[in-house]
Amino acid sequence: GAVVSQHPSWVICKSGTSVKIECRSLDFQATTMFWYRQFPKQSLMLMATSNEGSKATYEQGVEKDKFLINHASLTLSTLTVTSAHPEDSSFYICSASPGGNQETQYFGPGTRLLVL
Amino acid sequence: AQTVTQSQPEMSVQEAETVTLSCTYDTSESNYYLFWYKQPPSRQMILVIRQEAYKQQNATENRFSVNFQKAAKSFSLKISDSQLGDTAMYFCALYSNYQLIWGAGTKLIIKP
């Protein structure tokens, strides 16, 4: 149980284009979903927290107009990197918490983004 | 401020040995949770074990156990009978006040 999927697993795009990453909770309803960025050999950096049906809460320093997050349902959240640039290249990970249990997060397998 | 510190950037042990990864934390909250997550080369983050602060008994999951010292704010992970598949980055994390705070990670290598 508690499986989270991400799609795509990796993507290469040209500078200036937008990329959408999907995060789905497959066997539970996720009231809250989280988006992280992980640089090589570093820990996870929380980008934003999204609750179903409401606007995402972004961490300090994260541009909300660049990283658009939509949590349209209890099983789906999307992260769109708009007008991507090479510095946006990274490993993006989503996680999801079952309703009422925000302390435990189940993680997706991650998406590797390379912007050329 | 809430912090999590992992003082061992890298460790290596022989297969079948026991290894302990250290983690210290700081929080002013009385209600919190502690976690150990494993990130193998596939980069899939996997929950290894969790501990509720209000529970005195140390959590165990098969070969994985923790030594939770609340007064000392210490939360170490012991891996018994280590296996090659245990090779991974291990992250200690603290959930408190609606935030999940991560340690820097310890790279564990199990040698055959």
* Neighbouring residues of A64: CB distance < 8 A, sequence distance ≥ 6: A48, A56, A58
**Among partner residues B37, B43, B95, which is closest to A103 by beta-carbon distance?**
B95
B45 chain-A contacts, CB cut-off 8 A: 44, 93, 95, 107, 110
Q: Give chain A's end-to-end CA distance (angstroms, integer).
A: 37
Which among A43, A46, A109 is the nearest to B105, CB-wise?
Answer: A43
pLDDT attached to residue A2: 86
Q: What residues contact B53, with CB distance under 8 A and at least 6 apart?
A: B30, B31, B32, B33, B34, B70
Residue A100 pLDDT: 66
Over the stretch B27-64, which tens digit does the pLDDT of each residue have? 999 899 999 999 999 999 999 999 999 998 999 999 99
Tell me how far CA of residue B9 lies from CA of A116, B19, B81, B85, B110, in angstroms: 32, 14, 21, 19, 15
Interface list for B 8-27 with A (CB within 8 A): none
Query: Residue B53 and residue B2: Cα distance in Å, rounded?
Result: 15
Contact predicate B24/B92, CB 8 Å: no
Size of interface A-B (CB pairs under 8 A): 40
The residues of chain A scoring below 50 in pLDDT are none
Do B65 and B58 contact (CB within 8 A), yes or no? Answer: yes
Interface test with B, best of A6, A103, A105, A106 (most B CBs within 10 A): A103
pLDDT at B98: 83
Residue A113 contacts by C-beta under 8 Å, 6 or more apart in sequence? A10, A11, A13, A19, A21, A81, A84, A88, A89, A90, A91, A92
DSSP state of A83: S
Instruction: List pLDDT tens digits, range A77-88.
Output: 999 999 999 999
Residue A53, Cβ neighbours under 10 Å: how many?
10
How confident is the model over B75-97, as a mean pLDDT? 96
pLDDT of residue A113: 97
